[in-house]
């Protein structure tokens, strides 16, 4: 995601919901970068209790960046709750301590429609998307390999010209 004014953190800690833009490609195809035509905004409600698998928490990382990724597992270590999160368009995971979570996405505002995270269609999407992860991971790795091969061939070609 991105760095946003401190106001976002302050509003959520004060118990007030926030509507904010999304940036980056880590949560595509669901959330789109603010610079794209189909940019999305999200309604983030302040954190209450513990998040569940499938939720999209807004967390403030140690380096000052905000991140919204999907929870794929909830772990507990030494009495501390950690969320294992992954972007829908990512292979790797992050381990987010519960105290880093400021709120949870409850609604997604796209160009043409609003989606509530309680809608049956959205819940089906989350279930299918998470089950397809092994296939998506394989596809992303293959794409990465093909891109590297392509770039090596182009460099070789440029040297020969």
Q: Which of 94, 36, 32 is nearest to 65 (CA)?
A: 94
Here the tokens at position 61 are 């990382």
25/14 Cα distance (integer angstroms)? 29
158/9 Cα distance (integer angstroms)? 49
DSSP string, 126-141: HHHHHHTHHHHHHHHH
Residue 36, pLDDT score: 77
160/154 Cα distance (integer angstroms)? 10
What is the arithmetic mean of pLDDT over 144-150?
88
Give the model confidence (pLDDT) of 9-28 as tens digits: 899 999 999 999 888 888 88
Q: Which of 64, 46, 84, 80 is nearest to 2 (CA)?
A: 64
CATH T-level fold of 7-118: Umud Fragment, subunit A (2.10.109)
Query: Would you kindly state where each structural domain of the chain is located, as residue ranges?
Result: 7-118
Predicted confidence band of residue 108 (pLDDT cuts 50, 70, 90):
very high
pTM: 0.77
Packing angle, helices 133-160 and 120-131, rounded to 10:
60
């Amino acid at each position: 995601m991105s760095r946003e004014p401190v106001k976002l953190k302050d509003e959520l800690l004060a118990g007030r919901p926030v509507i904010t833009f999304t940036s980056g490609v880590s949560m595509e195809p669901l959330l789109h970068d603010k610079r794209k035509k189909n940019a999305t905004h999200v309604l983030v409600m302040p954190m209450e209790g513990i998040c569940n698998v499938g939720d999209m928490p807004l967390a403030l990382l140690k380096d000052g960046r905000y991140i919204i990724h999907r929870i794929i597992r909830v772990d507990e270590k030494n009495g501390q709750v950690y969320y294992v999160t992954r972007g829908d368009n990512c292979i790797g995971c992050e381990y987010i301590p519960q105290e880093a979570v400021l709120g949870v996405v409850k609604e997604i505002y796209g160009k043409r429609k609003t989606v509530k995270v309680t809608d049956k269609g959205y819940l089906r999407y989350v279930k299918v998307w998470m089950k397809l992860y092994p296939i998506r991971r394989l596809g992303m790795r293959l794409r990465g390999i093909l891109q590297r091969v392509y770039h090596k061939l182009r460099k070789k070609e440029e040297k020969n010209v």
